[in-house]
Amino acid sequence: MNRLTEFMLPPAKSTTAGEVDALFHFINVTSIILLAGITFTIIYFAWKYRRRSEDDVTPVITHNSKLEITWSVIPLILVMIVFGWGLSGYMNLTTAPDDAYEVRVVAKSWLWEFHYQNGHVSVNELHVPVDRPVKLVMSSDDVIHSFFVPDYRIKRDVLPNRYTSVWFEAIETGESIIHCTEYCGRAHSDMNATVFVHTQEDFETWLESADAIDEDMPPAERGEALVTRSGCMACHSTDGSRMVGPTFQGLWMAERTMEDGEVVTADENYIRESILEPNARINEGYDPVMPSYQGTLSDRQIDDIIEYIKTLD
Ligand code: CUA
């Protein structure tokens, strides 16, 4: 079974992955056996009952109760096994253990925000402790997204105006990838994030130090790290190429024409407004699709990002 998992599936890194994989293999193996059996029987019967001479006449058979009951009851049993097994797995994934560590997940087009119990927010990085259940309470700020961690075998839709939740317990430290698995617009395929699984001790250290500003780093370098960490690169380039949003290259102090014909100079106030209220002014030829970073980035962090943009000429 382990060999089969290794061959067909990503590594199983959560406590519930084993049950999901077992059901997957059961459905798969049953289907293969039935496919082979039915295919073989069809070919064999086609040959056995072939027309041998001109006066071969097919006998009239109205029905065969024994046969019909058999081919109804066997699939019914198989389907009920899959249903019961699937239902128990579904209930298990829906009901988080009471001692679970809770993280709020906010999906926006096109990034993932994680809000921790101490008020810290991380973008596109979910940090969790190992060997401890983690409950995710999720919602979307815009359209339907879906939270999927292949290594944990968990997937749940993330909806606007409603909370959904899912939980997992990571069984080893390391990293796993998170995908958005509901088509949500142009940068859907870039809407990925990473789970970082730490020891309990490292997790606490990370939580405490996550908000601390690295004073030794020049502001522009901090800004560069922030831009990468905050999901900006899904829609903005730094080399002049056009993506979903305008490029950062040459943005500083450039004159930009807005949708309503207004010409704006890209100074500190314009950049700040674009981060906090992105839809207040829209560049001509672009769509109003950027999510607000209000509550995600602090004033100090916005300062750092402005310093970084200044360096991109
Ligand atoms: Cu979010 Cu696809």
Alpha-carbon distances of 310 from 37, 223, 255, 276, rounded to whole Å: 68, 10, 14, 18
Cβ(151) – ligand 1 distance below 6 Å: no
Q: How far apart are CA 289 and CA 142, in angstroms?
A: 9
> Which pLDDT band, with edges at 50, 70 and 90, does 1 fall under?
low
Helix orientation angle between 268-276 and 299-310, rounded to the nearest 10 degrees: 130
If phi over 0 gives left and psi between -120 and 50 gives alpha, with beta otherwise, what is residue 184? alpha
The tens digit of pLDDT for each residue in 107-141 reads: 998 899 999 988 888 889 999 999 999 999 999 99
- Amino acid 203: pLDDT: 93
236 CA to middle of ligand 1, Å?
17
Task: Give the model's pLDDT for residue 231.
Answer: 79
Atom of ligand 1 nearest to the CA of 107: 1
145 lines ligand 1 (CB under 6 A): yes
Distance 24 CA to ligand 1 centre (A): 25
Task: Tell me: pLDDT of 214 over 80.
Answer: no
Q: How many CB atoms lie within 10 A of CB 147?
A: 25
Q: Whose CA is nearest to atom 1 of ligand 1?
A: 145
Structural domains of the chain ordered from first start: 2-94 (1.10.287.90), 101-209 (2.60.40.420), 219-310 (1.10.760.10)
For the segment 185-197, the average pLDDT, to the nearest whole number, is: 91
Mean pLDDT of 81-90: 93
Nearest in space to 250 (alpha carbons), one of 260, 263, 262, 236: 236
| pLDDT digit string, tens, across residues 148-175 | 999 999 999 999 999 999 999 999 999 9
The answer, yes or no, to whether any atom of ligand 1 lies below 6 A from the CB of 188, is: yes
For residue 211, pLDDT over 70 is answered with no
User: Concatenated DSSP letters for 240-264?
Assistant: S---SS--STT-TT-EEEBTTS-EE
Ligand 1 atom nearest to 158, measured from its CA: 1
Put the strands of the sheet holding 121-123 in their side by side order.
121-123, 111-115, 101-108, 134-140, 164-168
